[in-house]
A and B are shown apart, each in its own frame.
Chain A
Amino acid sequence: MPEMRDIKTSKEAVEKAKSAQAKQARFGQDIALDSYAQSAESIDYQRDLSQLPQATKERMLEVGVVTDDKVERSGTIVQMDSSVIHSLTKQDDVEVMSTNQAMEKHGWLADYLWKAVSVDSDKYTAHVELHHSNGYFIRSLTGSKSVYPIQACLYLNKKNLAQTVHNIIIAEENSELHIITGCTSGGKNEPGLHLGVSEFYVKKGAKVSFTMIHNWDPQIAVRPRTGIIVEEGGVFISNYVIMKPVQSLQTNPVARCVGENAVVRFNSILVAQPGSSMDVGSQVILDAKGARTEIISRTITTGGTITARGYIEGNAPEVKGHLECRGLILGEKGIIHAIPELKGQIAGIDLSHEAAIGKIAEEEVEYLMMRGLTRDAATATIVRGFLRVDIEGLPDQLNQELRHAVEASEKDLM
């Protein structure tokens, strides 16, 4: 980790967190943290996830987390409220465990805490440090390749809980890691808050794909805080899908390409239903020669509000970045605000963006109707096409799973 200079003690982190306790986030509506419960009863470890209640398993499956037949998963970790209730890895070159367990096992892990995300970013990162409950740790050892993805589930079950998690993901040199994370709540229309810090370290020549599906309830507020550091020749691919109601979601992950020819791709699919407010961005800082990025978002409102941000900064020669925000307004109400931003510091960089927001073009609907589709079928086909992002670099199986997850939620849109 050449970019880590001063190794902070956790005492320092606590001090910093305390100083940021009242610091509002730059974006998104402010959340009164003290209106939520700060702790939850501990939940027993589940050796066999198939023993979970059927309704729980179904919620998990909706966000891509398989509980019954896990043949197509290399590992699994599940946190419910503040307890990690299951963790398992089938490969000895991939570590999967709770963050607390990992801290005990690896003394060096302290060096990775709060390096990709600053502990004093805002009151939410501070809160996670001060009320740290758990989180997951996933690490692929040097040169390892997982055959199937690792699945992680963060499940918010207790009414009115502020769930705090701190995840650390490390892909050691030349390893390849695919992760599916499903975040969900109990489907009970109760209030709750999810605060999730995720720090990714993609080492030299490593590749990480991170596919995250969110499925919350109409009274849940969500504040993920994510940082990614990509070293030379490393690849980081993020796919983020949220198509179900949420009260308020704000996130703005930052990826830093610190090594030459590092690559970062962010794909987001956001659907804001009536009552949902989302402010979702992706930021990529291209700090090393030849680093590249692509940020793609597809947003749909059926009555909710979406701010879709994108930010690319080019600080090194021969970097390349493209940002594409496309928004579709279905129905009469709903707001989409696309804010694509580019910043270049030197000559010889290539940054571009395109943004478009509109309703479904009548001409396209008529064209499909000429081929015999009803107006409704034509509209559905166009929406499906709009949400269809072919994701480069993702294994076929994952691409298919992602497509199925999106298609399963499309039906609610019509």
Chain B
Amino acid sequence: MSGIKENLMEIRGLVVAVGGKEILHGVNLNIHVGETHVLFGPNGSGKSTLLMTMMGSPRYHVTRGSIIFKGKDIVGLPIDERARMGIGMSVQRPPVVRGVKTRDMVAACVGSRQPEESVESMAARADMSDFLDRDINYGFSGGEVKRSELLQLLAQRPDLALLDEPESGVDLVNIALIGKLINDLLQKDHYLRDRNRSGLIITHTGHILEYVSARTGYVLMDGVVVCEGDPKEILETIKKKGYEECRKCAI
């Protein structure tokens, strides 16, 4: 196919255990530079496990397989090194860290880079200005948590954004804002050939697809990718026939 750029992330035969229990049983996934992919799957199928493993949380043990990012196997690298290599993640249920302000988190995301935009201006874009001096995630509503996660990623500017359910719990008005922030993050206003940012988005409802275009969808069931295809088609199938139908088309 023409227009496909080089591989950014390549996952091969990934087997992952959490708390001594195998959750992922051999996952394969390719993300090229500039592409956005979508991950579907029932509760408990291992979607967050896959993202947390890509991010490098030591609680997720890779027992087999490889995760190649920018040509390098990153299995075994600590989280912060992966962050510095260009992987960022919005967490499904991020922890409260008392005394650490949202502003401190955004500053950490900017790191030692020369900031292109002020913290205040980024916060305004994410409608989070009033949250900068609050303890991170403390008393945040579901939607506020999601905007805060995206604000941090805007500051971090990762080459690969792993978004774990960015729209769950978000109201109909705010979802448009979330969609816009993701499009900014993934440089969706650039032509593909100029686009350097990639994304992997977990969604249950698929609402986010009304705002963010995605190339490929996957269905993860019981720790195995059972289906791959056009994201909107997959969503329609799940809506009409449920996840079992996806298992039938196992690839």
Contacts and interface: CB of A to CB of B under 8 A. Distances in A.
B7 interface: no
Given A362-B59, A371-B108, A386 B99 contact: yes
Contacts of B58: 366
A382 B80 CA distance: 16
B108 A367 contact: no
B95 A364 contact: yes
A304 to B, nearest CB: 22
A388 interface: yes
B131 to A, nearest CB: 16
B80 A372 contact: yes
B94 interface: yes
A361 B95 contact: yes
A370 B55 contact: yes
A328 to B, nearest CB: 11
B111 interface: yes
A386 B108 contact: no
A362 B98 CA distance: 14
Interface residues of B, number: 26
B156 interface: yes
A367 B98 contact: no
B100 interface: yes
A24 interface: no
Nearest to A390: B99
Contacts of B68: none
A381 B80 contact: no
Residue from the set A362, A370, A374 with the largest chain B CB neighbour count within 10 Å: A370
Residue from the set B55, B78, B108 with the largest chain A CB neighbour count within 10 Å: B108
B83 A371 contact: yes
Nearest to B135: A385
A172 to B, nearest CB: 37
A386 B105 CA distance: 15
B97 A385 contact: yes
A88 to B, nearest CB: 37
Contact of B80 (A373, A385, A386, A388): A373
B209 interface: no
Contacts of A386: 98-99
A226 to B, nearest CB: 27
Contacts of B94: 367
Query: What is the predominant secondary structure among interface residues of chain B facing chain A?
Result: mixed
A384 interface: yes
B128 interface: no
A368 B108 contact: yes
Interface string A374-412: 110010011011111000000000000000000000000
Contact of B97 (A362, A364, A370): A364
B98 A370 contact: no
A372 B86 CA distance: 10
Contacts, number: 65
A366 B79 contact: yes
A332 interface: no
Interface in B74-128: 78-80, 83-84, 88-89, 91, 94-95, 97-100, 104-105, 108-109, 111
Residue from the set B57, B97, B105 with the largest chain A CB neighbour count within 10 Å: B97
B152 interface: yes
A105 B59 CA distance: 69
Nearest to A376: B80
A375 B80 contact: yes
Contacts of B80: 369-370, 372-375, 378
B109 A372 contact: yes
A371 B156 contact: yes
Contact of A372 (B59, B97, B99, B108): B108
A385 B99 contact: yes
B129 to A, nearest CB: 19
Contact of A370 (B89, B100, B104, B111): B89
A367 B95 contact: yes
Contact of B98 (A368, A378, A385): A385
A96 to B, nearest CB: 35
Nearest to B109: A371
A382 B100 contact: yes
Nearest to A360: B97
A381 B100 contact: yes
Contacts of A368: 97, 100, 105, 108
Contacts of A34: none
A111 to B, nearest CB: 44
Contacts of A373: 80, 108
B111 A384 contact: no
A381 B98 CA distance: 10
A241 to B, nearest CB: 15
B95 A363 contact: yes
Interface in B131-186: 135, 152, 156
A296 B160 CA distance: 42
Contacts of B111: 372
Given A367-B94, A370-B79, A388 B99 contact: yes
A330 to B, nearest CB: 15
Contacts of A370: 55, 79-80, 83, 88-89, 91
A382 B97 contact: yes
A228 to B, nearest CB: 27
A370 to B, nearest CB: 6
Interface of A: 361-364, 366-375, 378, 381-382, 384-388
| 4 A-B pairs with the lowest CB-CB distances in the bound complex, closest first | A385-B99, A388-B99, A385-B100, A369-B79
9 contacts: A362-B59, A364-B95, A368-B97, A368-B105, A369-B79, A371-B152, A374-B80, A385-B97, A385-B98
Given A370-B88, A370-B91, 9 more contacts: A361-B95, A366-B57, A366-B58, A367-B94, A369-B80, A372-B156, A374-B80, A375-B78, A385-B99
